[in-house]
Amino acid sequence: MKLQSFYQCFLIFLLSIFAFSLQDPTQASGQVLTDRLLKKNLQDQLTKQYPNSSIEILGGARWAQSTPLFPIQNVSLLGEDSLGRARFSVRGTTSQEYAEGTIEFSAWTTGRVAVRRIRPGDILETDSFIAKKINVAAGSAREYRGVILSQATPLRGLEAIQSIIEGQFLTSTAVRRIPDARRGDPLQIHIQSGDLVITTPGTAQELSYMNRPIKVLTLKGKRELTGLLLPGGVVEVKI
């Protein structure tokens, strides 16, 4: 009888294991799947706040009160701080089902860091910088998010418009395309009125680029005109 009772208990144990293996995995590990979907949702929302960056969620959520037990229907990003923490809220199916929490994250982008001092007017060269992965979600790098010049941006044809010290990030606000004309450059001004064209020398009064407007000053008469900058140092003025 004891042996028969043992076999009955053992059979019940095996049947319980088999039944558990057939259980819906979403019910068996609902909390794990909920956390995964929560992180994915927050990652997608943070990607919009940090374009051209790779978002990594670090660790789990920290809830302001207790872990919400209701099924999460909506996730809203409320903000981030300089420590790389995102604040968010979740809602369920009723107005009472609401909770707030925080989660740590990083936002990585690949930029350039200067290896020597670059002065205003210097033409940018690739050997003046090294590529570096930068976390723009926290620390001093956060101030430069959105303006760090991507490693994929070619430096050819760019010059510095402000000093860039060694170890500083290269930003889009510190550079510009090399102008096709600068203030004081000699130019040939073609003044066109109908079929009549008069050519007179002049100088640029501002920097400009090809096929863009530019202010010029004629050498004779010191008359200021605005025309279109063309190849060969020619400015076309229509009056």
Taking only the tens place, the pLDDT of each residue in 93-150 is 888 889 999 999 999 999 999 999 999 999 999 999 999 999 999 988 888 888 898 8
pTM more than 0.85? no
Rounded to whole angstroms, the Cα distance separating 218 from 145 reads: 44
d(CA 3, CA 223): 116
CA distance 43 to 57: 7
Q: What is the pLDDT of residues 166-203, one digit of tens each?
A: 999 999 999 999 999 999 999 999 999 988 999 999 99
Closest CA to 198 of 237, 144, 145, 147: 237
Q: What CATH class is the domain 108-177?
A: alpha beta
CATH number of this structure's domain 186-238, picked from the four choices 2.30.30.760, 2.60.40.420, 2.60.40.10, 3.30.450.20: 2.30.30.760
- Give yes or no for a contact between 39 and 77, defined as CB atoms under 8 angstroms apart: no
